Structure 1
């Protein structure tokens, strides 16, 4: 057995809010306490002097797309483009760095932020990239810009030259572009993203893979990597047969048939399914990809097979359809149907337009809501994209984190990278400081949703997993010392208290502008996944 003692820091734990030290033995937390009692940890093999650093549970990002996020990190990221012309300059610059005929892959453009309020045309893209096949996903990854060279590889598709493809057409061009990625570039992208995630204090990601052959191949390459953090594969494949559900997991290495199993699309691309038209396009109500019967069949088959099910749903029509299907699946499962369904921990990704009835269905069935607080930070508010697409009155109730939590729905936070960056402290901050008063979480609830909540979303009920507790796996992140404060008791008000009588574990100050923590080290099961030098320079062996 090997024991490492971490001392001289501040530990985020309910076991002892005043703790300054903890010990890890063979990847498991074996002791927590104060400096005066470190001898109780036994004789350690190594000692790490924390110098006031904060030790906290590592984050779980409950919704990512590793290849796409990595391609944005190592290649063309268009999220900073401020005008259409700026976007085209960035595209041309990236294309010039690619050999003739080579693939140009980019992500992140958002025409709603530009004064022109329109995306580039096909002709403008061609002028920027020449004969290079080009795929440039919109920020929500539900539509894309493509070059004529890429489109020519799909002659059966009637792609409009001035309107980015959505729905099935987008899926086809995306798969065509991914087929042009070399294995080396795919591996480079995946490794870059997972390395960056570890550097952000993330110990696990939930990969949301598409269920078609290209998606399965992408997932297989990801799961085959030797990477520092845990990767769980969520496969977007709908089933109606329990045997098919278990066979898919064996075939692909996925842990669930969930993630981006899409009921609808996204608000920005006007593909999220709505019960009434978009305010800025009265002819559009979005698109439903799965019927109520298909949703119910999937939930039933997964529950019988003991496989975790779930769906992507954003618009009010799509989210409500999931709520109805959950209740129908319970009826179909017969006696103890609620227990059977809750036992496989259904998930809903996004749930941006969840109403009271849908929320009640989630709570009644043990459904976990995997939500992305940075969506509100990026697109919320009366002047944001949501309001432009839907009107301010319909947009304000979106991303109802407080209503979900108050109803008893377990929350897990994620980024949907590359839609937003995998920066967990920013996500926690955004969950607290929601644009709509009363819709945010308390700091403690937001932090828990991004740590323990991710483990719960994966169906784990192991003792203490996602917390700092004796007997729990040592999935830890160590952050540079900063102004650490305890949140006020009122869960609806983002105020802070330094009352020493509080028994709430320490958290950083999340007030906008206060500055967020930086990661010094990340450990997964006690093994080093990321280190800035803290562990190498300050660890001493004890003879």
Structure 2
């Protein structure tokens, strides 16, 4: 299973009062962990009408609203003043808040949900991927090479060719590729191609020469340079081997980071996302976020988790979390890794892979390191997120729920992995994988996301996968392991209120309640009632953040996501 586990502690109040941290004992099942240090008490909000001494800035009238909390449908209008919801109820009540300056959008029966939240994503990585060679969906190694060769033709001599999205599980020969064909097709440019899961990369001979990868190189702890029978590197780098080499790639400029980050943010709001995460950022990424926020060029909210780097963490743990009063950019989390990914056979298993009898996967961090950083982070008021995919990383869903760990899971991982996941772990172990219903039945919380750019950033695909467990062609009939399907209401809550709760933002966003920030999405077709197969095609007409329309279909049509 691919899930992120976000253990969260309890407290009352954000600035002071009683604080009680929670530390997991790192029991070695397929997932990512968030240990929370400080919870924000949600304000006591009324449902209905707020005071009317001032008019509304924005009214959405004649609509169908799904507040999530309370969990029922409301037909009528929603009014916004000062970026917050001041009314939700019958149309007549909103009319009393209308002034000549009020912008009124007549929904004509269209559906409105809270702004959608991706609880596990990588916004900076998405921005970079949008400017790289797109290798997603390539059904053969030859197709990967064709796309890379075509991209190289437009680059200056010797420039790096970067790409992302290849997946050998889609190819007729499902073995990892070797560099020789790639080197033959693109000999003069160094090439770096990130696998779809972000846990492996393929490089050509020119790149290996620049990076110093040859037969003498040693595998780092928690990583692997794949080799041929003669002991020579094949060009595939797994987990910490990839991390070692990635640190030697040319770094993007500050302007590059700001440009690609803004491009990614616009990509997201066009698809109905109003809050995202960035799991594992460095100082340069943080500065790019801050620059965009200060320039009012960041159209959504971002919850940032620091990468597991000693110098970075030492500085931030001494400084403490950065809680934005506008809830636009918050830094209150630390991201660590127990293991790698299932697709590249880096997920750490108790028993060998069913399709690789000599492989138990990779533990990319030691237990001592995980515990040390977790204790220090919690003491400093930071949340701890731990990537844990294999069953050496997490075993017991019931215990996870009892400890208050939040399962941050990605529905589209299940539908992407279902053709080959059984080959990796076998039927018995598969029963504990992608187990959304088991988490809810154990009274755990589901914070849903996509892990983009590993998957598409489009949350409609996540909603569809969660309720059908089918691919976009409707396969398999009835869904894959259908007992784990979610209802539409559960899926929407996972992409809104419970995702907000996992990020300590539930007092601000995640539901359509009076007093909360006006983050919402207007759909052309109602995703809660259309036939399941039509959920991915339910067009986004408006995305609203803090009461401001940040996307409107028709005015910037490229953002429709269709």
* TM-score normalized with structure 2 length: 0.77
Among residues 62, 74, 81, which one is paired with 1:18 in the alignment? 74
What's the counterpart of residue 480 of structure 1?
Answer: 524
Among residues 52, 55, 69, which one is paired with 2:112 in the alignment? 55
Once the two structures are TM-superposed, the CA of residue 366 in structure 1 deviates from its matched residue by 2.1
Among residues 496, 503, 521, which one is paired with 2:542 in the alignment? 521
Once the two structures are TM-superposed, the CA of residue 248 in structure 1 deviates from its matched residue by 6.0
**For 1:167-178, what aligned pairs fall within 5 Å after superposition?**
167-177=239-249
| SS of 1:237 mapped into structure 2 | coil
What's the counterpart of residue 551 of structure 2?
Answer: 530
What's the counterpart of residue 221 of structure 1?
Answer: 288
Among residues 412, 416, 428, which one is paired with 1:374 in the alignment? 412
Aligned residues: 466
Answer 1 or 2: higher relative contact order, Cα 8 Å, separation at least 6: 2
Structure 2 CA distance for partners of 1:245 and 1:453, relative to 1, 3 Å: same
Among residues 405, 416, 423, which one is paired with 2:458 in the alignment? 423
| SS of 2:342 mapped into structure 1 | coil
Contact 1:240 1:298 in 2 (8 A): no
Q: Which moved more, 1:527-536 or 1:278-287?
A: 527-536
Contact 2:80 2:547 in 1 (8 A): yes
| SS of 1:279 mapped into structure 2 | coil
What's the counterpart of residue 123 of structure 1?
Answer: 180
Q: Deviations over 1:131-164 (max 9, x none)?
A: 2121101111111111222222322662543251
Structure 2 CA distance for partners of 1:301 and 1:245, relative to 1, 3 Å: farther
Measure the CA separation in 1 of the matches of 2:458 and 2:400. Answer: 27
Measure the CA separation in 2 of the matches of 1:75 and 1:163. Answer: 19
| SS of 1:195 mapped into structure 2 | helix
Q: Which moved more, 1:522-531 or 1:310-319?
A: 522-531
Measure the CA separation in 2 of the matches of 1:476 and 1:372. Answer: 21
Q: Which moved more, 1:215-224 or 1:83-92?
A: 215-224
**For 1:358-397, what aligned pairs fall within 5 Å after superposition?**
359-380=397-418, 384-397=419-432
What's the counterpart of residue 532 of structure 2?
Answer: 511
Measure the CA separation in 1 of the matches of 2:144 and 2:553. Answer: 35
As a proportion of its length, which structure holds more helix?
Answer: 1
Once the two structures are TM-superposed, the CA of residue 129 in structure 1 deviates from its matched residue by 2.2
Unaligned runs of 5+ in 1: 321-356, 485-506, 537-543
Measure the CA separation in 2 of the matches of 1:306 and 1:514. Answer: 39
Measure the CA separation in 2 of the matches of 1:409 and 1:76. Answer: 39
What's the counterpart of residue 457 of structure 1?
Answer: 502
Contact 1:452 1:466 in 2 (8 A): yes
Structure 2 CA distance for partners of 1:422 and 1:375, relative to 1, 3 Å: same
What's the counterpart of residue 483 of structure 2?
Answer: 438
What's the counterpart of residue 472 of structure 2?
Answer: none
What's the counterpart of residue 28 of structure 2?
Answer: none
Measure the CA separation in 2 of the matches of 1:70 and 1:190. Answer: 5
Q: Deviations over 1:219-256 (max 9, x none)?
A: 43244222111122111327899986632656998623
Measure the CA separation in 1 of the matches of 2:312 and 2:126. Answer: 33
Structure 2 CA distance for partners of 1:19 and 1:462, relative to 1, 3 Å: same
Matched, 1:6 2:60: yes
| SS of 2:248 mapped into structure 1 | helix
Unaligned runs of 5+ in 2: 1-53, 218-224, 228-232, 324-328, 470-479, 558-562
| SS of 1:205 mapped into structure 2 | strand
Q: Deviations over 1:490-537 (max 9, x none)?
A: xxxxxxxxxxxxxxxxx243613565311111111112221225899x
Measure the CA separation in 1 of the matches of 2:82 and 2:451. Answer: 33
Contact 2:208 2:235 in 1 (8 A): no
Measure the CA separation in 2 of the matches of 1:514 and 1:454. Answer: 20
**For 1:400-419, what aligned pairs fall within 5 Å after superposition?**
400-419=435-454
What's the counterpart of residue 6 of structure 2?
Answer: none
What's the counterpart of residue 340 of structure 1?
Answer: none
Measure the CA separation in 2 of the matches of 1:535 and 1:162. Answer: 45
| SS of 1:98 mapped into structure 2 | coil
Contact 2:411 2:448 in 1 (8 A): yes
What's the counterpart of residue 467 of structure 1?
Answer: 511
CA RMSD of aligned residues (A): 2.8
What's the counterpart of residue 124 of structure 2?
Answer: 67
What's the counterpart of residue 197 of structure 1?
Answer: 268
What's the counterpart of residue 161 of structure 2?
Answer: 104
| SS of 2:407 mapped into structure 1 | strand
| SS of 1:151 mapped into structure 2 | helix
